[in-house]
Amino acid sequence: MIEVVIELIQLHSILILVYWLRFWTKLVILFQKPPKPPNIFIMPSPNSPCA
């Protein structure tokens, strides 16, 4: 019984991941932004005085 619950949770998380990927691609297409993903992941910006 516990194994079945764990399997369901894993499947559900995969479905959530796929949903989020589709959601974000739709958002990017909707806003028509230029492809610049590295700026989002790198927290300190290159032109900041701290760097």
Domain edges within the chain: 2-41
pLDDT tens digits for 4-37? 888 988 888 988 999 999 998 888 888 775 655 5
Angle among Cα 42, 32, 43 to the nearest 5 degrees reads 10
3-class state of residue 32 by DSSP: coil
Q: Cα–Cα distances in Å, from 3 out to 7, 44, 48?
A: 6, 43, 50
Asked if 44 and 50 touch (Cβ cutoff 8 Å), the reply is yes
pTM, to two decimals: 0.40
